[in-house]
Amino acid sequence: MTLNRRSFMGTAGAAAGLLAAPMLHAQGSGKPRVVVVGGGAGGATAARYIAKDSNGAIDVTLIEPTRAYYTCFFSNLYLGGFRDMDGLGHSYGNLAASYGINVLHDWAIGVDREAKTVTTAGGHTLPYDRLILSPGIDFVDGAVPGWDVSAANAMPHAYKAGSQTELLKAQVESMPQGGVFAMVAPPNPYRCPPGPYERVSMVAHLLKEINPTAKILVADPKESFSKQGLFEEGWEKHYSGMITRVGPDGGADNIAVDPVAMTLSINGEVTNVDVCNVIPAMKAGRIAEIAGITEGNWAPVSAFDMSSRIDPNIHVLGDAAAQGDMPKSGFSANSQAKVCAMAVRGALTGSNVFPARFANTCWSLIDTDDGVKVGATYEATEEKIASTGGFVSQTGETAEVRAATYQESIGWYDGIVADMFG
């Protein structure tokens, strides 16, 4: 007879009175408890998979302040007029109603790693056996001289979707004819490597319709960027003469903004701008820092189960994690969440755990039906999540291939949202 881990725990171990360490759980609770902080691509997926696959054997609490999650993915398509804002918003009702997840609309403000509790702004203290943090990103203070979050109305970042994205679009629509849209692009590593350049494409698409003499100026501190050849080919084809990108060799590693005067200074040369989209350098969402599990700007994790290298009872998913080769994307966060959910269930209930495998694809829309993609598969190594092979769209592809790539991205969007929220 072959005993799997679960049947061993359920029979021989229990009969001998030898309950192994993984079966221990938060004091006073009838079941092991998992607390998930952040109901985005990583957190919602992890909460749903743990609740769904444990069939009620694990208590899952999801702490998320907003009542509707607006996806950053496809928010650039909203700027371009390909999606409406309502279609980007998703509520948490189904996670509570269909999966029995305790959804708490609150901010996590503290983590006591000794006591294994999370405290919230609403005054709750929640015990956990495992804590999963997927808080996304915050901005590095002082990263763009002249800008801080109090200037985010004059110069929006629109890098957390929702009202910021709506504000940016309204500003683009109100630009004077022939005006200037400027973007300050972020340094590596940051959320969604192709995101700023898809945004440039979508703003150009909108301006081409409503303000064809307008110009786009991108100040970029990086030498190169994701899918650069594909974007530059597309910009030349669809928006010729509209977009200028200045890299570090043109002084874009020395920029400043003035949100009152509405100016952008590149290496001391000051330009008046009508809209300025400032996307500052990023770091892990602040609760990761508060929990004391960051090194530098990010939270280092083991590739095998996304557990923190500083505290194995805490797992970190998505943008906040320093994990190796995966880009910071919704697809990556979702993929990591499923590996983590399996590992956490295994640790708390003895269920089977299979080797970690990850995947990512980042699609971008350049113009109507002109979609491109880059992607890879990954495996866990002692050192990091390591790429095992990848693919990228090619320059010069046919219109049919590009249209099919765009259709793929629409299917992916519906799929990931269903995977997060059920």
Out of 13, 52, 66, 124, point to the residue binding ligand FAD (CB under 6 A): 66
Q: Which is nearer to ligand FAD, 275 or 362 (CB)?
A: 362
**Smallest gap from residue 30 Cβ to ligand FAD (A):** 25
Distance CA 70, CA 118 (A): 25
**Smallest gap from residue 109 Cβ to ligand FAD (A):** 7
Residue type at 41 in one-letter notation: A
**Smallest gap from residue 177 Cβ to ligand FAD (A):** 26
**Smallest gap from residue 355 Cβ to ligand FAD (A):** 23
Establish if 336 lies at the interface with ligand FAD (CB under 6 A).
no
Residue type at 212 in one-letter notation: P
Nearest one of 276, 347, 279 to 34, comparing CA atoms: 347
Establish if 325 lies at the interface with ligand FAD (CB under 6 A).
no
Out of 64, 129, 220, 370, point to the residue binding ligand FAD (CB under 6 A): 64
Establish if 365 lies at the interface with ligand FAD (CB under 6 A).
no
Residue 301 pairs with which residues in a beta bridge? Answer: 308
Distance CA 54, CA 240 (A): 54
Burial class (CB within 10 angstroms; exposed 0-12, middle 13-18, buried 19+) of 354? exposed
- Per-position x/- string for 286-315, each x denoting binding to ligand FAD as judged by CB under 6 A, each - no binding: -x----------------------------
Q: Which is nearer to ligand FAD, 90 or 350 (CB)?
A: 90
Establish if 280 lies at the interface with ligand FAD (CB under 6 A).
no
Distance CA 268, CA 2 (A): 72
Establish if 318 lies at the interface with ligand FAD (CB under 6 A).
yes
| Distant-in-sequence, close-in-space partners of 386: CB < 8 Å, separation ≥ 6 | 303, 324, 325, 378, 379, 380
Distance CA 180, CA 174 (A): 11
Establish if 73 lies at the interface with ligand FAD (CB under 6 A).
yes
Q: Which is nearer to ligand FAD, 23 or 140 (CB)?
A: 140
Opening angle at CA 213, ends 208 and 218, nearest 5: 80
Opening angle at CA 202, ends 201 and 208, nearest 5: 90
Residues at the contact surface with ligand FAD, assessed by CB under 6 A: 37-43, 63-66, 69, 72-73, 75-76, 107-108, 134-136, 159, 191-192, 195, 199, 285, 287, 317-320, 328-331, 333, 362-363
